[in-house]
Amino acid sequence: MTDTLGPADLLVVGGGMAGLTAAASAATLGARVVLVEQGEQVGGSAIYAGFAWTAPSPDVMAEVNPHGDPDLADVLLGGFESGVEWIRSLGVGCRPAVTVLRYGRGHQFDTTHYLSACEQRIKEHGGDVLTRARAESLLMDEGTVHGARCRLPDGSLRPVEARWTLLATGGFQGDPVLRAQLIHPQARDLQLRANPHSDGDGLRLGLSAGAAVGKPDAGFYGHLIPAGVPLSDPSMFVDLALYYSEHALLFNLDGERFVDETIGDHITTMALLAQPGARGLLVADAAVYREWIVGSYVEGVPGIDKFALASRRGARCAVAESNEDFDLLPADWGYPGPKIRAAIDAVNRDLSAGRALRPGRAHDRRVIAEPPFYVIEAAPAITFTFTGLLTDRQMHVRSGAGGLIPGLLAAGADVGGLYDRAYAGGLAPALVFGLAAGSTAARAARTG
């Protein structure tokens, strides 16, 4: 670390995918950069991910995310390929594009290598990267943000002056109170499949400057996991995710389907949160077991037996040798077994007859009828949030009073409006919005 932290051209609050991307790209373009990260190391939740992907076209984005901000979607899609080239420019290889989540396209890459390459690039260009440091309040003068007061690792509180301050703290999924307020009351108890440090600092700092915030209940990105199984080991975040739910049937505690499961596990996860007890019974048959439970969910990623793993981890799991076995569901599970059996029969009859279902099964109309049946009790888990600060295309934060807040930028999951109860990639917007924010700050530094 240099003797002084400021003044800087860009102060980045948060050292995840968006923050490191912005800092490294701005430093490459000649900006003086300081980055503060409250965790023990940089990387955020990106260290648990492996794909940069998004919708392949504006039409697909509009179809899967019809209520999202079209300007932000345009920035994302327009900047994705150059974002991939930026990753490669740091010496990080990206594999050929593959299909992700049925409708997306993207590249697998070594996120750990990428994040460390960004950190190295910042330092090579004279920037500072501070871990175990936190921005506690913004420095403001007549409505203009010019840095932040940062709590440093030694406990001291130091003002860091900067021409631009970027909020890239990763969302508020680590704060149970904010989750309950802005997602759903039952979100207070969601398990976290992400780093624990994204607890709303960016949102709070933005609000303190008068920022405009996207609508509550925009949702979150997450996946179903076996209910009651703790996510204490980050290496299990992917292995325990029940991606195959989009080929199965999901029933709530009343024994009723409540969502089109085939739209995607990430959508089903949001829907289950609002159901009684935020838990449900996931039912697959032998065909789904062969093709999806033990199969590869994304091309190039080896599959594992998620049912066996959930069972070993102590989840409520059962194998029903016939449909009639649902009548024998343990009473303490709380589900009406005979009602679920009858519902499965009705779904299969309607699918076989080509009749419409309510809820539908738009993307997989195969019957769930081949015994044995594989049953897991599932619950939602959260990765990152969608409600956040509103920005323009250059990542300037909008003011709640109209206009823009001078000196303040946002990127990554601190940006709201991109997704509205829909999802088309997490690393990709962090990458593209981070590059946009870095460019904005560097351009200002060059022009003085």
Confidence of residue 139 (pLDDT cuts 50, 70, 90): very high
User: Angle at CA 106, nearest 5°, toward 100 and 112?
Assistant: 105
Torsion sign across C-alpha atoms 224, 226, 231, 234: negative
pLDDT of residue 259: 98
Specify the DSSP element, H or E, that contains 104: strand 104-108
Q: Give the model confidence (pLDDT) of 416-445 as tens digits.
A: 999 999 999 999 999 999 999 999 999 977
Determine what percent of the chain is predicted with pLDDT higher than 70.
Answer: 98
pLDDT of residue 222: 97
Q: Which two tokens stand for residue 396?
A: 């300037």
pLDDT of residue 2: 43
Q: Is the pLDDT of residue 376 over 80?
A: yes
pLDDT of residue 366: 96
* DSSP assignment string, 160-197: EEEEEEEE----STT-HHHHHHHT-GGGGG-EE-S-TT
Q: Is the pLDDT of residue 300 over 90?
A: no
Q: Where are the domains of the chain?
A: 8-217+386-447, 222-382
pLDDT of residue 4: 56
Instruction: Tell me how far apart the alpha carbons of residues 52 and 439 are, in angstroms, rounded to a whole number.
Output: 20
86-104: average pLDDT: 95
pLDDT of residue 297: 75
Give CA 191 to chain center in angstroms.
13
407-411: average pLDDT: 98
Q: What fold is seen in the domain 222-382?
A: Flavocytochrome C3; Chain A, domain 1 (3.90.700)
297 or 116: which carries more pLDDT confidence?
Answer: 116
Angle between helices 70-89 and 427-447 (to 10 degrees): 80
Angle between helices 17-28 and 427-447 (to 10 degrees): 30
Question: CATH class for domain 8-217+386-447?
Answer: alpha beta
Name the 3-class secondary structure at 215: coil
Q: Give the model confidence (pLDDT) of 169-183 as tens digits.
A: 999 999 999 999 999
pLDDT of residue 448: 60
Specify the DSSP element, H or E, that contains 317: strand 317-320
Instruction: Tell me how far apart the alpha carbons of residues 434 and 21 are, in angstroms, rounded to a whole number.
Output: 5
Q: Which two tokens stand for residue 270?
A: 């949001």
pLDDT of residue 168: 98
Q: Is the pLDDT of residue 253 over 50?
A: yes
Instruction: Tell me how far apart the alpha carbons of residues 434 and 428 are, in angstroms, rounded to a whole number.
Output: 10
Q: Give the model confidence (pLDDT) of 187-239 as tens digits.
A: 999 999 999 999 999 999 999 999 999 999 999 999 999 999 999 899 899 99
338-346 own/partner pairs: CB under 8 Å, 24+ apart:
339/254, 339/255, 339/256, 340/251, 340/255, 340/281, 340/283, 343/249, 343/251, 343/255, 343/256, 343/257, 344/249, 344/283, 344/368
**Is there a cis peptide before residue 302, judged by omega within 30 degrees of 0?**
no
CB neighbourhood size of 401 (10 A): 10
User: 57-93 burial string, b = 16+ CB within 10 Å, else e?
Assistant: eeebbeebbeebbeebbebbbebbeebbebbeebebe
Query: Which residue in 157, 123, 161, 240 sits closest to 193, CA to CA?
Result: 240
Q: Is the pLDDT of residue 348 over 90?
A: yes
CB neighbourhood size of 14 (10 A): 34
Contacts of residue 306, defined as CB under 8 A and 6 or more positions apart, other chains included, come to 239, 240, 241, 242, 243, 244, 293, 294
Name the 3-class secondary structure at 322: coil
**Is there a cis peptide before residue 336, judged by omega within 30 degrees of 0?**
no
pTM of the predicted protein model: 0.95
Q: Which two tokens stand for residue 23?
A: 């800092």
pLDDT of residue 445: 75
Q: Give the model confidence (pLDDT) of 35-88 as tens digits.
A: 999 999 999 999 988 899 999 999 999 999 999 999 999 999 999 999 999 999
The chain-wide mean pLDDT, for the chain, equals 95
Q: Is the pLDDT of residue 3 over 60?
A: no
Q: Which two tokens stand for residue 208?
A: 């303190």
Q: Which two tokens stand for residue 105?
A: 């396209």
Torsion sign across C-alpha atoms 333, 334, 336, 341: negative
Query: Which residue in 46, 45, 134, 41 sits closest to 87, CA to CA?
Result: 46
Confidence of residue 298 (pLDDT cuts 50, 70, 90): confident
pLDDT of residue 296: 78
